Amino acid sequence: MGVSTAGIAFLPDYASLGTSSLVILAILRIGQGIAQGGSWDGLPSLLALNAPEHKRGWYAMLGQLGAPIGFIIAAGLFSYMMANLSSLDFLEWGWRYPFYVAFAINVVALFARLRLVTTHEYSHLLDEHQLDPVPVGELLSSQTRNVIIGALAALASYALFHLVTVFPLSWISLTSQRSIAGFLQVQMVGVTLMAIGIIISGYVADRVGRRRTLGTLATMIGIFSLFVPFLIGAGQHGEDAFILIGFSLLGLSYGQAAGAVTAQFPQRFRYTGAALTSDFAWLVGAGFAPLVALGLSSHFGLAYAGVYLLSGAVSSLAALSINRAWNIRDN
């Protein structure tokens, strides 16, 4: 992860290499994805599954706190650079600086992971074969149903994630004169609310259940999606409300989004199943969300960004309902 991230800081610009610079950027992003998958996928699920039964929601949310912490650091750096550099300086070298800093953060994260693998709990998981991978083809041939349901269950949360982070930045930069540096500061307040929401989700999920928590939040996200065009289209105050409300809902949902239905996998498939489920959820729910939302909003109006988010909420509710019905039938 650190090598790929730092590599972006040294990326030649389009004027120097043309299309080759885009190819190199794509390769570096793929490298980040491989590193992310190797270091993160399945971790929240395993934390939850191996926690005491009444503490699973709390343990599941711990790993999710990394996202808001990372966002605050990145947004803070970019906001500072954009506010204190000319547009020319920012485009020439300012945008590269946060990627240098990210390399240092990844070094710290590496030591944290090395500490993790030396713990008794990690050794126990290895001894119990709960970290044994299985071929993806074998997993899909027998567990396709669980992979699809697991990916769709978190769709509302992951779609909302990029609709309150990347999409509004693109929309505002293209359609208004508002300062991006100032808007990033609003997002930093929002992501602080997200972090608080993630912590609260741990307490709530341990009392009412992780699936019920996800289902309730998917419903609330669906309701929120109906107000998206009115909030974003209402000027600065509406945009701020969209960010603050959206991040608050995101924290409560995202805290329990990882692996809520991973227990459906037989133990042999659980680790790879949790990883692949997470990958598909991010790919479908978040990977294309900013581009799709921006394209729909630009061509058909902001209401269609809300429709896109609503589709994610409906998909999550459907997946959770089907999963519950299967549990009742199988038991």
E runs forming strands in 139-227: none
Would you report the helix, strand and coil content of the chain in percent, each value rounded to 5? Answer: 85, 0, 15
CB 215 within 8 A of CB 313: no
Mean confidence (pLDDT) of the chain: 81
pLDDT tens-digit readout, 102-137: 777 777 766 666 665 555 655 666 666 556 677 888
Beta strands in 16-112 (DSSP E): none
Query: How many Å is the Cα radius of gyration of the chain?
Result: 20
Non-local CB neighbours of 28 within 8 Å, separated by 6+ positions? 4, 5, 7, 8, 11
Pick the more confident residue, 240 or 283.
Answer: 240
State the pTM of this model. 0.82
Nearest to 229 by CA among 313, 311, 314, 301: 301
Q: Indicate if the pLDDT at residue 51 is higher than 50.
A: yes
Q: What is the pLDDT of residue 331?
A: 47
CB 82 within 8 A of CB 94: yes
Query: Token digits for 109?
Result: 């994260």
Which of 17-21, 128-132, 237-241 is predicted least confidently? 128-132
**Domains detected in the chain:** 40-330 (1.20.1250.20)
Pairwise CA distance, residues 46 & 59, whole Å: 9
Percent of the chain with pLDDT over 90: 18
CB contact at 8 A, 143 and 270: no
Quick: pLDDT tens for 63-87.
Answer: 788 888 888 988 888 888 888 888 8
Locus of tokens 């608080």: 196
